[in-house]
Structure 1
Amino acid sequence: MPRRPKRPCSFPGCPRLTDGRFCEEHAKAEARRYEKYQRDPEARKRYGKAWTVIRKAYASEHPFCEVCLAEGRYTPTEAVHHIKPLSQGGTHDISNLKAVCKACHARIHGEMGDRWSRKVKDYDSQK
């Protein structure tokens, strides 16, 4: 499978080439900014060491995005998505998880309306 060409870091003025959106240095800064200003403070309580172990195990068992794979594309797993969010009563149970790439993860959350709009969706109907 051919690799995608590297592209410039999205941080203004950074000349480094990267596989992702930001180079290593700026990806860490972006993650800190998200945690500080955008992430729900209650979310930190729901994601601890246990989640890190579960996520790593699930991602290793599902190396490709399950959404892309269903459409015949082989895209590496970059996130593990909770089908029913923890904030809505979901759990870390394997039946509530889905391996996804960043693009699919963003699309799922955009459709759910919990990140970029105020649209409310019934999480029980999404499986």
Structure 2
Amino acid sequence: MPSRPARPCKHRGCRALVAGGKTYCDAHAAEEVKWKPDAERGNRHARGYGTYWQKLRTMVLARDCYICRCAECRRLGRVREATEVDHVQPKSQGGTDDPANLSAINHDCHKRKTATEKAAR
């Protein structure tokens, strides 16, 4: 059986080809988010993202006027639409769901911030 053809790395602008089941080249492997099934990590309610979180999320997005408040956007003076809510201090590092620890963030900024935090661990 022939092997699967190589595909381009998913990192924006990277032209390296990756083979097999990989999605990122070796230089960008840290950007890959490896999702675990709900049976292993628990469903959204078990992880604390149930109905209460949805109401809190809506409140934070409205408070921040649906504008990305990530550090990079603020530093560059960039205005981007926020579609997600981020924990400034991650829950895995002792952060809470207190509105003071939450900020509105753009999807791409959130992916970049999460990948940076994972690489730092």
The bucket for the TM-score relative to the shorter chain is 0.5 to 0.7
Check 1:35–1:59 CA distance in 2 against 1; reply closer, same or farther (3 A cut): farther
Q: Which one of 42, 51, 54 corresponds to residue 53 of structure 2? A: 51
Partner Cα distance (1:99, 1:106) in 2 = 13
Partner Cα distance (1:108, 1:97) in 2 = 14
1:94-113 deviation line (CA, Å, top 9, x unaligned): 12112110111001100001
Runs of 4+ aligned structure 1 residues displaced above 4 Å come to: 34-37
Higher relative contact order (CA 8 A, sep 6+): 2
Partner Cα distance (1:65, 1:102) in 2 = 9
1:74-120 deviation line (CA, Å, top 9, x unaligned): 1111110012223433211012112110111001100001xxx5x41
**Equivalent residue for 1:40?**
41
**Equivalent residue for 1:65?**
68
For the Cα contact (< 8 Å) 2:69–2:103, is it kept in 1? yes
1:17-67 deviation line (CA, Å, top 9, x unaligned): xxxxxxxxxxxxxxxxx6846x83265421111111110011011110012
Q: Which residue identity does 2:69 align to in structure 1?
A: E
Equivalence map 1:1-127=2 (5 Å):
36=37, 40-41=41-42, 44-45=45-46, 46-62=48-64, 63-67=66-70, 68-113=73-118, 119-120=120-121
Partner Cα distance (2:90, 2:44) in 1 = 10
Which consecutive unaligned segments of at least 5 residues does structure 2 have?
Answer: 1-34
Secondary structure of 1:53's partner? helix
TM-score normalized by the length of structure 1: 0.55
Rg larger in structure = 2
For the Cα contact (< 8 Å) 1:78–1:101, is it kept in 2? yes
CA RMSD of aligned residues (A): 2.6
